[in-house]
Structure formats: structure tokens, C-alpha cells
Amino acid sequence: MVLFKPKDPQFRSRVEASFNRQQVMKTLGVKIVKLQPGEIELMMDYAPAYTQQHGFIHAGLITTALDSACGYAAFSLMPDDAEVLTVEFKTNLLAPARGEHFIFRGRVVKPGRTITVCEARAFAVEESQEKLVAMMSGTLMAILDRDAECPRHC
Amino acid sequence: MVLFKPKDPQFRSRVEASFNRQQVMKTLGVKIVKLQPGEIELMMDYAPAYTQQHGFIHAGLITTALDSACGYAAFSLMPDDAEVLTVEFKTNLLAPARGEHFIFRGRVVKPGRTITVCEARAFAVEESQEKLVAMMSGTLMAILDRDAECPRHC
Amino acid sequence: MVLFKPKDPQFRSRVEASFNRQQVMKTLGVKIVKLQPGEIELMMDYAPAYTQQHGFIHAGLITTALDSACGYAAFSLMPDDAEVLTVEFKTNLLAPARGEHFIFRGRVVKPGRTITVCEARAFAVEESQEKLVAMMSGTLMAILDRDAECPRHC
Amino acid sequence: MVLFKPKDPQFRSRVEASFNRQQVMKTLGVKIVKLQPGEIELMMDYAPAYTQQHGFIHAGLITTALDSACGYAAFSLMPDDAEVLTVEFKTNLLAPARGEHFIFRGRVVKPGRTITVCEARAFAVEESQEKLVAMMSGTLMAILDRDAECPRHC
């Protein structure tokens, strides 16, 4: 496991503040469980409102939490004047998202000044047993203050 | 544009019935606007509950609708005893998902007995102007009745 | 079809010069057939040296040509002091790459100052019939002169 | 690390025989270094013939070896009457592929009767130092003898 040194010693409060501004995390009940430089763990309860036709959590909602896991793992290593945007992600669905709650673990694979690459995994938890249900690889981009007049890679 | 011949003449009611069982589509207010064999258009209104930290719709929610667009485009060409599962998808985010509502157009690129490949695009609509905000390519899998004892590719 | 206006009126010679520096294109016998701003078509002959275990062209070689198609479609719209790098791509394989020769069509979906998103398709040609065998979506990045001391997104 | 039990005790000779039928592996000089159930390591020397415009190995060639790593990791767990096909892969390029030789490590994340999901990483080696240059996630499909009349997911 690579350990990362954050550029911003206040990365923790910066990540939490941004995460709390994501209305969708509140709506879905996603919470930060652990946070280290370049690494994050999120949790979400099962909710019938977010299921697909077989009663499992829809792949898009699993992806929503995985994307936030990648995004905030990346954001934790960015300088304090940076915003983070997702460039792309891919999700492989490995098993039905059936469980009492779900754990999402995201981590930085390769940090960069502009581009950061992350991966994340989603686990369904039933009777305290974790089962891998999905995995993501994603590209995140830092937008710096000096680019503020030009959001989203113009 | 390739035109497809559906294996199940009742594909329309089958797609609608399955779509209506996706609780998440109701929760997010996603509706079917158009449906042809191998092609579908969905619509979703803006809702603050599903936004990320800048007030735009979270990429994961855009992905949720894109995945359903791919899934039901594929499902429309499957035989009447098939279920559809998503194997994987990739989303490229092209612009912030800022708009009054959103249109999602999915279509089959390559149908198959087991594997179907689709693509979909998401458009934000503001003042009747469409803007491309995301695109997806995805792999869908048909699970047939005879595989029923063995869901999700065992 | 969106039409693009190139920033560099000499884009054609710039693309060709860079393409000609790709040794691998010469090795594989890949040639530029058409070039427009934001669009390119490449061609490659079948060669047993690049086949997989069933005698078809290996997916990685199809991907090599698709990546160059995406890269040079993107590069054609970049300013004259830019270099282009691939950030990521995904290939969906749709049919065996069996043919006398192969056509690769790449085009820009969304150009940007830093990030450009492209898509490309590969067709096998047999007895003058084109068959779609693979499709790619990819993210390309412009590296500008002023970043020269800092290659590949640091 | 998950350990896998192969369905075919002769998996080793089966993988090697199939690998040896891939002409492209011979052409590129790719060799199997290690092979365990669900895991493989390949090696490739640097060759100017496969470089892009900056003199590094082209991303498509790195992808070629990564795809074979994923494919044979998956194939090692398949029954003895199965063929393996790639459904899709995504490659994230993390650093220029500059090195004396390259190592590719692929492993199965989730095996399945029909669908197997793998991941692989590419490392450039210079002065005995490994550097991560690319990563892949991919979907592989088993084609069984009983499907022989219907190759590639029909």
C-alpha cells in the first residue's frame, strides 16, 4: 500500500465540508466512515427507494457512492485552492447489490497535478459478511483557482 | 442508423412493466419518453436532492438514468423469457449537469444472444436548448429462464 | 454531425508529422485515409503476425489503431504548441476482427482546452463489406509548451 | 488475496498452449513469467518498432499485453472445453511507458460461469526499478463447446 502525503494539512475538514455540500449524499444517507490521505471509506444503508427491478440497489446508485469515494480520495491530496471534477469512470458489476448496508472503499492509484486516477470497490454487508459487488476505476481532475474563470476544462 | 426487429412483439409492455418495477426511476422521477426496438429516450427533472457540491446533478445519478437507458434499449430486443443485467458501463462526463431537465437517449450498437452492447447520451435542457453533458458505453447480459436457478452469471 | 474549426490552420501537416513519428504505425502498416478537423480515418491490412489464438487480429492491436484515431482526431483541434497524451480509453469488442483489412474512424465528441473526449469505431472489411468489430471511447489531454518542464500531468 | 481453485487441473498446459498460438505475443516478444490459478505475470522487452511519437511504447501495445494478462488469468480458471473471449477492457495510462522492459500482472477479481472480471497492471522497469505505467479492468467471456456452433455471443 502506497502512503500519500497530503499537500493541505487541513485536508480532512476540506473533504468533509465538500462532502456535506453534496445534497445527494444526504439524500442517499451516505456517510464518511474513514478518511486518510488518498483513501476513504463510505457507508450507505439499503433503501427500497433506490432499487432496480429485482429489488437490489440500482447499479447507478452504487456508482454514485463509488464516484464520491474516488472523488474525495483524490480531493484529499489536492492543494487547498483546488476543486475536483470527475472526468470519467467505469463500473464493473460483480454481484447483485443485495445487503443491509454497503461499504465503498476508494483510493488514489496515481495522484497528479491535473489528473488523478483512483479505484474503488463496493461491498454489500449481510449478517456482518462483506461481499464484493462492484468495482470502479476513475479519472479525476483538479481545477485550480487560477482556472476559476474557466470551469470544467473549457 | 441500424433498425432492429424485436424478438418479442410485446416488447413495449414488457419494457414498461420492468421499468415500472425500478423503484429508483419513480424516486428520481425518470420517465420513458420514446421507445422503439433497440432505442429508448428517458427524461428526468432537475432536483436539488440529487446534486453534488456545485449544485449540479451528481454524475452517479446521470449514470443511473444512462444505465437504465442502455438496459431497456437492450431489453427491448431480448426474448420474452429474458431478464437483463448490467455487466459494466463507462461514463465520460463532458459538461456540468446543469439544466431544468435532462434527456437520456440509449440505443443498441450490437445485439447478441447473451451479450448486448449499447451506448447512451445525456443532455441537459435549458430554455429548450439541449447540451450534451455525458456519454456512456455499456455491456448488458441476457439471463434466460433456463438459467433461472443461476442468477448473475454464477 | 458537429463540425469543428481548427485552432491551427496547419493542423493537417502537424497531424501527419506526429503520426509519422509513431514507429508503431509504420510497423503495423496503419495509414491515414482521411483527415478533417476533429475527424480521422485510418486503415490497416490484416497480418498474421498480429493475431490472437483464433487467427483474428488481437484486440490490443485493434485498440492501438483506435487509440491513434482518437488521439489524432483530438490533436487536429489542438493549438500548434500542444502535445497530445491519452489519459484512458475503453474498448468494447463486438465481433471477431476477421478481415482483409480494417478501417478505424475516430472523431471528437467534446473538445476542450485541457481534456478532449473522442470516440472511434473499427470495421473489418471482407469482399468490400464493412462489419463493425469494436468501438472505443477515450479521453485525451493537451500538454502545452508552458507545461513542457512537467510532462504527463505531473 | 483471494486464492482460486482451478476447474481444470491441467490449466497450466492449456494456458501455455493457447498463449503460444497468439502470434502477436511472439511478434512482440511477450513471455509468461509466472502462472497461478487466476493469476499471471508477463514480460516484454522495449522495442523501437512499437513506439509512439515520443519514443515510448504505444498505449495500445501496453494494452495488448494487459489484455492477454487478463485473458489468461481468466482462462486459467475455466473448464477444459472453454474458449476465452474479451468482451471489453478499459486502460488508464498513468505514466509514459519508458523502460528497458515491462511487466504485466493480471488477476481474476470475480470468476463466473460465463463472465469473468479481471484487472491487470503494467510496470516499466529501468535499472531494476518498477514503475506503474498503466492499469486495466476487463470483462472476459467463456465460450463452451456446446456453444461452438455459435461463436462470440451471437
- Please write down the HEC assignment for all residues of C106-139: EEEEECCCCEEEEEEEEEEEECCEEEEEEEEEEE
pLDDT of residue B81: 95
Q: Backbone phi, then psi, for C50, in 5-degree steps?
A: -115, 25
Q: What is the pLDDT of residues C59-105, one digit of tens each?
A: 999 999 999 999 999 999 999 999 999 999 999 999 999 999 999 99
Q: How far is it, in rounded angstroms, from Cα B63 to Cα C119? A: 18
Test B114 with D154 for CB contact under 8 angstroms: yes
β-strands D101-110, D115-126 pairing = antiparallel
Quick one: how far is CA D45 from the chain centroid?
16
Q: Please, what's the b/e burial string for D19-40 (b: 16 or more CB within 10 A of its CB; e: otherwise)? A: beebbbbebbebebeebebbbb
Contact assessment for residue A47 and residue A28, using Cβ atoms and an 8 Å cutoff: yes
Task: Name subunits touching C (3+ CB pairs < 8 A).
Answer: A, B, D
Q: How far is A117 from chain D (nearest CA, A)?
A: 8
- Closest to C83 in 3D by CA, of C72, C94, C99, C70: C72
**D139 close to B (CB below 8 A):** yes
Predicted complex ipTM: 0.93
Gyration radius of chain C over CA positions: 15
Test D22 with C92 for CB contact under 8 angstroms: no
- Closest to A21 in 3D by CA, of A83, A63, A77: A83
Q: How far is A10 from chain C (nearest CA, A)?
A: 22
Test D95 with A110 for CB contact under 8 angstroms: yes
Domains and CATH numbers, chain B: 11-147 (3.10.129.10)
Calculate what percentage of chain A has a pLDDT beyond 90.
Answer: 90
Question: Which chain C residue has the Cα nearest residue B116?
Answer: C94
Model pTM?
A: 0.95
Q: D60: alpha, beta or left, given left = phi > 0 and alpha = psi -120 to 50?
A: alpha
pLDDT at position B149 over 50: no
User: CA-based angle B2:B6:B11, to the nearest 5?
Assistant: 125
**A102 close to B (CB below 8 A):** no
Q: What is the pLDDT of residues A52-100, one digit of tens each?
A: 999 999 999 999 999 999 999 999 999 999 999 999 999 999 999 999 9
Instruction: Estimate the crossing angle of helix D59-75 against helix C59-75, to 10 degrees.
Output: 150
**C34 close to A (CB below 8 A):** no
Closest by Cβ to C139, choosing from A113, A139, A150: A139
Retrieve residue A19's grid coordinates.
462532502
- Closest to D7 in 3D by CA, of D41, D35, D33, D38: D38
Q: What is the pLDDT of residues A130-154, one digit of tens each?
A: 999 999 999 999 999 655 444 444 4
Question: Which chain B residue has the Cα nearest residue C95?
Answer: B110
Q: How far is it, in rounded angstroms, from Cα D113 to Cα B64? A: 27
Q: How far is C40 from chain A (nearest CA, A)?
A: 23
Q: What is the pLDDT of residues D88-124, one digit of tens each?
A: 999 999 999 999 999 999 999 999 999 999 999 999 9
Question: Mean per-residue pLDDT for A26-48?
Answer: 98
**B127 close to A (CB below 8 A):** no
Test B139 with D87 for CB contact under 8 angstroms: yes
